[in-house]
Amino acid sequence: MDKFVISGGHKLKGTVSISGAKNAAVAILPAAILSDGICRIENIPAISDITLMCRILRDMGANIKMINKNTIEIDPTKMTFRETPNDLMRGMRASCYLMGALLGKFSKASVCLPGGCDFGTRPIDQHLKGFKALGADYNIHSGVINVKCEDNKLKGTHIYLDVVSVGATVNIMLAAVKSEGLTVIENAAKEPHIVDLANFLNCMGADIFGAGTDVIKIRGVQELKGVTYSIIPDQIEAGTYMAAAVVTRGDVTIENVIPKHLESITAKLEEMGVNVETFDESIRVFCNKPLKKCNVKTMPHPGFPTDMQPQITALLSTVEGTSIVNEAVWDNRFRYIEELRRMGAKISVDGRLAVVEGIETLTGANVSATDLRAGAALIIAGLSAKGKTTIDNINHIERGYENIVEKLTSLGADIKHVSDIFSNEEDVSGI
């Protein structure tokens, strides 16, 4: 099993460029099958979730061409409906977007219940509520969801989401974009990747307005044309490198970002006493004074993102004082804290609250990534710790971070990707 091996204590310095947003790309790729032409998607992150999504789309009959590692051409024009209960779909949460995309294209879908990061229950009741409101019926049988609109034409409707859900907002948009009439989604998610998806669909000829607010209106259209589209930069990847720079008390400029998408992260770091300089498409993070503890509560956008919670908790475990982290989105997203404790972190957890007693220095240890952002948190802890940290289950990390070893190494980190087949931790990251 491959591992990352980190020798901590090196200040990160220099510049790093951010890749395309994973959570935008995994929504836009399935959305492309709604097109009546060929779509070329650029600035896609070269990560395993994308590889998996392309395999699923190919299995469903789409013609996928890799132009280069960050550009994909999708030709859905010869796709015919097929029931695709496919165990591949259990590899990630975003496979559930195939429900909305197939419903929007064929007025029916039959897909495996999705998988993804394990931090508590991950219901899809709001997705199904939206499909039903659009005129589709569904049943779940042997782990497969079958959704179908009997008269083959979904009809616009008014949906009030009981919880702010990124996935349900995406899926309802995909199902409604070629339906008859107007669909209104109230209490919609406002994340940057929701806006990116709406922009992509509108480039294809959709009629969606209000994305980025909590009311999204979708007027159904007959046809969506093939387009070329570039994915926005990944706000969570950017935030992860910001936290890595701060935990090493370094000085890093993060390029190819949309600063507006990072405002809640920037605000929290400035509250801790971090210096943040914002430019048009980059952001500089550096420390020149002792950091202060702070409290964090995760919320839907524009609140502090839950996908940055593990990373900021790892950072706070090295900041003097007592910080409280409140995970208000997921019911069990602190599993990684057991791993941080192996490194000497003093953190107690009670339900959705973590109480972090910052300590001077963490100590390197052998730890395991329990999910994607938990893995990022362990890297952040390892960069700061005294001695060597070995992280296994790095497949979780490779789902969402393109070239993380190369990017951190270019900033001065001592991190190696070690494969089990090599003895003595031979560095394989360049292979």
Task: State which amino acid sits at residue 287.
Answer: C
CA atoms within 13 A on the CB side of 9: 10
Minimum Å distance from CB 151 to ligand EPZ?
Answer: 25
Stretch that binds ligand EPZ, among 8-16, 122-130, 227-235, 273-281 (CB under 6 A): 122-130
Cis amide linkage into residue 45, ω under 30° from 0: no
Closer Cβ to ligand EPZ, 117 or 365, answer by number? 117
Distance between alpha carbon 340 and the CA centroid of its chain, in Å?
22
The conformation of residue 12, written as its DSSP 8-state character, comes to: P
Minimum Å distance from CB 373 to ligand EPZ?
Answer: 5
> What are the CA-CA distances from residue 216 to residues 98, 132, 165, 211 (Å)?
20, 18, 13, 5
d(CA 52, CA 58): 10
Minimum Å distance from CB 304 to ligand EPZ?
Answer: 11
377 Cβ contact partners less than 8 Å away, ≥ 6 residues apart: 310, 311, 313, 314, 336, 340
Q: Judged by CB under 6 A, does residue 373 bind ligand EPZ?
A: yes
117 is catalytic: yes
Minimum Å distance from CB 36 to ligand EPZ?
Answer: 26
> What are the CA-CA distances from residue 331 to residues 107, 120, 303, 351 (Å)?
33, 6, 17, 7
User: For 69, phi and psi rounded to 5 degrees?
Assistant: -65, -15
Tell me which of 125, 281, 320, 406 binds ligand EPZ, using CB under 6 A. Answer: 125
Minimum Å distance from CB 361 to ligand EPZ?
Answer: 28
Closest C-alpha to 3, from 384, 415, 431: 415
Minimum Å distance from CB 177 to ligand EPZ?
Answer: 18
Stretch that binds ligand EPZ, among 9-17, 35-43, 119-127, 244-252 (CB under 6 A): 119-127
E strand or H helix at 73, and its extent? strand 71-75
Distance between alpha carbon 278 and the CA centroid of its chain, in Å?
23
Q: Judged by CB under 6 A, does residue 122 bind ligand EPZ?
A: yes
Positions 254 through 273 that interact with ligand EPZ (CB under 6 A): none
Closest C-alpha to 245, from 357, 383, 402: 383
The conformation of residue 427, written as its DSSP 8-state character, comes to: B
Stretch that binds ligand EPZ, among 7-15, 61-69, 142-150, 160-168 (CB under 6 A): 160-168
Q: Judged by CB under 6 A, does residue 130 bind ligand EPZ?
A: no
Q: Judged by CB under 6 A, does residue 307 bind ligand EPZ?
A: yes
| Catalytic-role residue among 39, 54, 117, 149 | 117
Closer Cβ to ligand EPZ, 113 or 221, answer by number? 113
Stretch that binds ligand EPZ, among 115-123, 266-274, 357-365, 405-413 (CB under 6 A): 115-123
Q: Judged by CB under 6 A, does residue 117 bind ligand EPZ?
A: yes
Task: Select the residue whose beta carbon is closest to ligand EPZ and give its number.
Answer: 167
d(CA 146, CA 108): 8
Question: Quick one: tokens of 309?
Answer: 């919670």
The conformation of residue 389, written as its DSSP 8-state character, comes to: E
Task: State which amino acid sits at residue 42.
Answer: E
Q: Judged by CB under 6 A, does residue 196 bind ligand EPZ?
A: no
Tell me which of 1, 67, 163, 215 binds ligand EPZ, using CB under 6 A. Answer: 163
Stretch that binds ligand EPZ, among 117-125, 151-159, 202-210, 359-367 (CB under 6 A): 117-125
Positions 17 through 46 that interact with ligand EPZ (CB under 6 A): 22-23, 26
Question: Quick one: tokens of 126?
Answer: 């709001």
Tell me which of 126, 157, 266, 318 binds ligand EPZ, using CB under 6 A. Answer: 126
Please tell me the count of residues contacting ligand EPZ according to CB under 6 A: 25
Q: Judged by CB under 6 A, does residue 94 bind ligand EPZ?
A: yes
Tell me which of 166, 252, 319, 385 binds ligand EPZ, using CB under 6 A. Answer: 166
Q: Judged by CB under 6 A, does residue 133 bind ligand EPZ?
A: no
Minimum Å distance from CB 191 to ligand EPZ?
Answer: 6
d(CA 323, CA 333): 17
Which DSSP string do the residues of 111-174 spell out, in sequence order? Answer: EEPP----SS----HHHHHHHHHTT-EEEEETTEEEEE-TTS--B--EEE-SS--HHHHHHHHH
Closer Cβ to ligand EPZ, 129 or 249, answer by number? 129
How many CB atoms sit inside 10 A of residue 80's CB? 7
Q: Judged by CB under 6 A, does residue 309 bind ligand EPZ?
A: no
E strand or H helix at 383, and its extent? helix 372-384
> Would you name the residues annotated as active-site residues?
117
**Residues contributing to the site for ligand EPZ (CB under 6 A):** 22-23, 26, 93-94, 117, 122-127, 163, 165-168, 189, 306-307, 329-330, 372-373, 400
